Structure 1
């Protein structure tokens, strides 16, 4: 069961308008841009925006997200059926408007991913975000439609770790898909090589045989056909990715 800490910020002008979403059309991924800051601090920051003096000449900052996630915790700053200021308020991409309507804040839930001191997203944070996304889809009625902040607005390099390494964004979406559909293979397009049989040297097949065999012996996977596929050298790249996500996730839950 996913553990979420409710830390609702007060209704205020700058970070929680108290308005209900008009629809649930997607999930938008962000990063905190604050190396080493935990999820709790991000939630506190959103709450602090309520203290801005609206009478000053300086323009107030409007910002918030529903969830902040780090290696060990998930903080929920406002109800996921309320509007948060996480997608900006100026221009949006054509794709975002087509799927999320003209003001994406009205139809999306925002997730902030905390980063390590070196600017990376830790694997534990990654796994927590996958679990949160699955929860939002299964339990809270959001569709499996994902956008990065950059995909919504077109200009902001957010979440930066995934902009730099787009394969991590794809790995995230695939991991969510597998957890939602554990018995289905990953869908691939004509441009993918995911359905190509692995072109491994014998030593690599031996290592893979050990990896899959251990998982079968430990009852992490129950279908002997996977072992047979490896031994007959018929496993595809897509199947290997599917197996790795399943095995790693199930071992993580057992530990």
Structure 2
């Protein structure tokens, strides 16, 4: 179980509007652009925006992210079911509009990765971010859908270390995928357990409805029966495991072919 330090910033117009997310559609990856700054410092910066003195004619600075991660800690600046100002823009990429909606801030969770003094992302930070992503998907109902800040807005080179080394971004997504699939191994469950209907809370079923519905709409899967089974709350553990592997792998291959 990951350890998260709750360091909630006060509700304010600049960094925590206090609005609930309209949906959970993806996880957006950022970097702090502040060499050597800790996760605690980043969280304090977001909180400080509430106190900024704005001159007449100025709109002030709007910025925040849900999580800041460094080599030793994860700070949470606002609840992951609230909207943060982490990927707002006047324009968005077509992929972001398709997957995240017209205003991605209200359907995503934002993660800030702290960088070392040389501008790199330390391996311990990398691993901690992998664990956080797995937690958000496994425990908090976010789909295994990742965007860099640049993939959302198109113009911002963020997170810069991954823009410079895209293979590290791919390594991250693969590490998350492997860890998610290792959490439920078919051999670890008896046959009767695999055939049991999922014992999910209503909010989790709604997220699953959307996950499978989006896959059907995007022609990742072609059998509407799976959509209906999710709507009727009749999916079993074994069926979900099979669907997840199929959907995630087909999406990964689809995104790879688009990049190629």
Taking structure 1 as the reference length, the TM-score comes to: 0.72
2:89 is aligned with 1:93: no
Query: Deviation string for 1:58-90 (max 9, x for gaps)?
Result: 330000000000000000000000000000231
Superposed counterparts of 1:226-241, under 5 Å:
none
> What residue is the counterpart of 2:39 in the other structure?
39
CA distance in 1, matches of 2:3, 2:255: 38
Measured in 2, the distance between the counterparts of 1:5 and 1:52 equals 24
Partner of 2:76: 76
Quote how far apart the aligned CAs of 1:190 are. Answer: 10
Distance 1:25 1:32, change over 3 A: same
CA contact (8 A) 2:66 2:109 kept: yes
What does 1:113-132 align with in structure 2 at a 5 Å threshold? Answer: 113-132=113-132
Distance in 1 of aligned mates of 2:70 and 2:254: 36
Change (3 A) 1:23 1:189: closer
For 1:191 and 1:95, the matched residues in 2 are separated by 10
Runs of 4+ in 1 over 6 A off after TM superposition: none
In the alignment, structure 2 segments of 5+ residues that lack a partner are 186-244
Q: Take 2:99 and 2:26, find their aligned partners in 1: how far apart are those partners? A: 8
Q: Which residue of 1 aligns with 2:142?
A: 142
Choose 46-55 or 158-167, whichever is displaced more.
46-55
CA deviation map 1:72-119 (0-9, x unaligned): 000000000000000023110000000000000010000000000000
Whole-angstrom CA distance in 1 between matches of 2:125 and 2:14: 27
Q: Which residue is equivalent to 1:154?
A: 154
* Aligned partners of 2:89 and 2:153 also within 8 Å: no
User: Residue deviations 1:35-55, cap 9 Å, x none?
Assistant: 000000000000000012345
Aligned residue in 2 for 1:111: 111
The alignment yields a C-alpha RMSD, in angstroms, of 2.0
* Mapping 1:58-73, distance limit 5 Å: 58-73=58-73
Q: Whole-Å Cα distance in 2 between the matches of residues 55 and 171 of structure 1?
A: 44
Q: Which residue of 1 aligns with 2:168?
A: 168
Correspondence 1:189-228 to 2 at 5 A: 189=253
Corresponding residue of 1:220: none
Q: Which structure 1 residue ranges, 5 or more long, are not aligned?
A: 193-255
The alpha-carbon distance between structure 1 residues 151 and 189, as it changes in their structure 2 partners (threshold 3 A), is closer
User: How far is the alpha carbon of 1:144 from its aligned partner?
Assistant: 0.3
Partner deviation per Cα, 1:198-227 (whole Å, 9 max, x = no partner): xxxxxxxxxxxxxxxxxxxxxxxxxxxxxx
Distance 1:10 1:53 in 2: 16
Contact 2:39 2:73 survives alignment (8 Å): yes
How many residues are aligned here? 192
Secondary structure of the equivalent of 2:172? helix
